[in-house]
Structure 1
Amino acid sequence: MINDLIDHKLCRCWHVFGLFMVMALLGGCAGMLNPETIEAEPREDVILAMKIKSKLIESEELSAAAIHVDASSGMVKLTGFVETHAQQVLAGQIARQTDGVIRVENLLEVK
């Protein structure tokens, strides 16, 4: 009888401890889900990146699938791969000639 009581109390302690651990883990993750901490990309930046990507796709000289376009307040970053130096230059020119672009950082790598 005493052993059953001790086992019951130990089991209860482990349940409380487990519940505490789950609450602590969830509390730590709550900050990650807070909408105030998530910085949304402004609509204009997304539109600008999409305009540039569309122009890259339209170009017959480029394989746009391997080119990634990031835009932030008119600043554009091109990353990824192209086959030739001429393609690297062309991608940069296409980005620079797009309305709304202030500066282009061309980080495309030639394979």
Structure 2
Amino acid sequence: MKKINTTYLVQLLLLLFVFGIQSCASKKSSIIVNKKVVTEKYKSNPSNKNILYLIAGKEVSQTYIENIKPGNIESMNVIKGEKEIAKYTDKKYDGIIIIKLKK
């Protein structure tokens, strides 16, 4: 009689384990489905034409920036405000984007 109860208990635990795994798997896939890509929104925005792009202290074009693979970027800093921009250049810009690439 004792072996039968143990068998039922093991089966019940296995069922609970399987349902738990299925529940976790369905939650994980919903997170992936809700992932958004926002880079295209800003790629050709007319308001970003007066931006200074710097990589390793050198000015680069927006076209050059658009061709950088995101995986190659280590960090990006956005500089705004006239006083802060004046620390980097004497020219008039709406902002500066400083990009540090991975080595």
TM-score w.r.t. length of structure 2: 0.48
